[in-house]
Amino acid sequence: MILMKTLETGLHEQFEQTMSRKKFKADDEEAGREYIEAYVKYIHYVERLYEAAKISAPGHFPETAAEHTH
């Protein structure tokens, strides 16, 4: 339960930060950069969570060489 709540909170916060920067004037370069930065951080956050969820902890199960490459 604690893990799921932490994941849910983190995903929600990252998503909200990204979406709050999505609407900006086309000529506002700084706002555009802020949106892109927030978007990239969100995507990388989700990717890290996904990768962590796919791989078992080292030393607990037979491992393959592919599991050690990131």
Q: What pLDDT band is residue 61 in, cutting at 50, 70 and 90?
A: low
Q: Domain segments of the chain: what residues?
A: 13-46
Please answer whether residues 17 and 38 qualify as being in contact, where contact means their C-beta atoms are separated by less than 8 angstroms.
yes
Tell me the two tokens of residue 62.
């037979």
pLDDT reported for residue 70: 54
Q: Over the range 11-46, which residues count as b (16 or more CB within 10 Å of their CB) and which as e?
A: eeebeeebeebeeeeeeeeeeeeebeebbeebeebe
Task: Summarize pLDDT for 18-56 with one digit per residue, the tens.
Answer: 999 999 999 999 999 999 999 999 999 999 999 998 887
pLDDT reported for residue 58: 72
